[in-house]
Structure 1
Amino acid sequence: MGKLGWTLALLFAVLLGYVWYEPAFDPESLRGARVVVTGCSTGIGEQMAYHYARLGARVLITARSGEKPGKIGNPLTSFYAATKFGLDGFFASLRQELVMQDINVSVTYCVLGFIGTETSQNFLEVSYTRVSSEQIKPSPPSDCAMAIIKGGATRQREIYYPWRDAWLLTKLRPFVPDLDLVDHVTRSVFPPLKEKSPLFTTD
């Protein structure tokens, strides 16, 4: 094996170690901890509250009122994407400010794929012309909630759940920016939208 082959093998080994490395999680570290969970009426927030309670944490839960907010944009649309990119920048800046001020608070940024919450299911039914269970298989909210809890408890900078969706689609783009690989994969998985984006419609 030549020098290039060994270099590629080393890079691949580092990549595998990065992907599968998971800091040791001690459930006892959360016993008696004070935890605030927002948005816990349904979905991931609800499952996080259940997990924290089982782990012995002192949980304060909050949820919005029974009325659902108006339509503000769907995943894979520009409005939704803008908020997610904004969160990435906000938490990256917040993490640096905390370090510079010597404040012992960790920030864990969670990148999530398609999770089987009520909101996600409603989105598929309302937004897409056809949905096949073979095309889009959501991940369980309970498992997602536990992944977030473990990431926060072990002070990880970022977590990706599920790995096959979140990590691959996020990390591939910088390596193939001109091939539109990620965009092609996304379009091939999700069926056509029923509605056009409000940015490109007129009254």
Structure 2
Amino acid sequence: MWKRIRTQVSLNRWGWGVQFQAQPEGPQEPIALCICNANHLMLKGKRVIVTGASTGIGEQMAYHLAQMGAHVLVTARTEAKLQKVRTKHTHTGHICCVSLCPANGLQSCPAAPRGLDMLILNHVGNSYFNYFDGDVGHVQKLLKINFLSYVAMTVSALPRLKDSGGSIVVVSSMAGKAGFPFTAPYSATKFALDGFFSSLRQELIIQKVDVSITLCVLGFIDTAASDVVLVSPAPKEECALEIIKGGALRQREIYYKYAATKIPLLIRDWAPELLDYLIRRSYNVENLKKN
């Protein structure tokens, strides 16, 4: 007969973990053990869509979510890239791969789940890393992929997310919070995401709609390493976990890595010209000219 339960609380990379040890009367050793990580359990059985999941952070998120027991639908715009994901993760039964144009929303995807708990918007269009060349057409194309398709996916997913009290996770960048050189078209799309989803969050709260919006402000990640950037890239595997954690905990914003993102933004509020200077110092412009 159980008389005592000893509880031990610890903090790990996912948050608070709780360990329960059930003990019988007397001096005997514990004979029953259950380890519970709250954030992992929050995702078990959840229905999640991850866009732009054929490579990089998106692929890592899909893999981590499936390991946690979530039912994951991953999308990409090209079938060839999705086939690589299928091949690499054939042992994972919780991942379904679908070729999808995000601009068309979920209506064009018969495989989309009827219910949805989390929408992770992560896809991004290709852009150059150089001085702005005045190509307005490229800016328009990038806005369609990086911004308008996020809006379309959100509109089509909102009815399902309202039913489940779900979450929207928007992957953005430091380039959507501060001015970075050589990324003008890309930065424009990321600033647009911040404005739209911050406004939408306010409207959902006013309407008492239980759908959270998490904006992910990422620094330099090792998916796009360049000899022009002097800052060491952060690992995409850990970044993917932080994004998932932020969505699961329904956080307003997450910053990864924190010291490389949040602290510079605090400097911006007090000394914007200093931050601009520090950003310029983080580039090897001579290498850019060689490229």
- Give me the TM-score of the superposition, normalised by structure 2: 0.51
Cα distance in 1 for partners of 2:45, 2:125 equals 38
Task: Point out 4+ residue stretches in structure 1 off by more than 3 angstroms.
Answer: 22-25, 69-76
Counterparts of residues 14-163 of structure 1 (less than 5 Å): 24=16, 26-65=39-78, 66=80, 72-74=127-129, 76=181, 77-117=183-223, 120-121=224-225, 124=226, 128=228, 135-163=230-258
Higher CA-based Rg: 2
Partner Cα distance (2:184, 2:234) in 1: 24
**Once the two structures are aligned, what percentage of the paired residues are identical?**
50
Q: Choose 160-169 or 31-40, whichever is displaced more.
A: 160-169
Q: Residue 155 of structure 1: SS of its match in structure 2?
A: coil
Kindly state the Cα deviation for residue 194 of structure 1 after the two structures are TM-superposed. Answer: 2.5
User: Residue 23 of structure 1 contacts residue 154 of structure 1 at CA under 8 Å; is this kept in 2?
Assistant: no
Secondary structure of the equivalent of 2:73?
strand
Q: Which position in structure 2 is the counterpart of 1:184?
A: 277
Tell me how far apart the structure 1 counterparts of residues 69 and 254 of structure 2 sit (CA, whole Å). Answer: 23
Alpha-carbon distance in structure 2 between the residues aligned to 1:145 and 1:157: 17
What is the identity, as a one-letter code, of the residue corresponding to 1:155?
R
Which AA in structure 2 matches 1:90? F
Structure-2 change in CA distance of 1:28 and 1:34 (3 Å) = same
Q: Unaligned 5+ residue runs, structure 1?
A: 1-21, 197-203
Q: Secondary structure at the match of 1:111?
A: strand
Amino acid at match of 1:115: I
- Extract unaligned runs of 5+ from structure 2: 1-13, 17-37, 82-123, 130-174, 176-180
Partner of 2:11 in structure 1?
A: none
Q: Distance in 2 between matches of 1:46 and 1:56?
A: 16
C-alpha distance in 1 between matches for 2:126 and 2:238? 27
Measured after TM superposition, the shift of residue 108 of structure 1 is: 0.3
Q: Deviations over 1:144-187 (max 9, x none)?
A: 0000000000010000000121112222101113xx11111111
C-alpha change, 1:70 and 1:101, in structure 2 (3 Å) is: closer
* Aligned amino acid, residue 39 of structure 1: G
Q: 1:142 to 1:70 in 2, by over 3 A?
A: closer
Going from structure 1 to structure 2, the CA distance change for 1:96 and 1:148 (only over 3 Å counts) comes to same
Which secondary structure does the structure 2 equivalent of 1:62 belong to? strand
Structure having the higher strand fraction is 2
Q: Which moved more, 1:149-158 or 1:23-32?
A: 23-32
- Partner Cα distance (1:105, 1:142) in 2: 26
Alignment: residue pair count: 161
RMSD across aligned positions (CA): 2.4
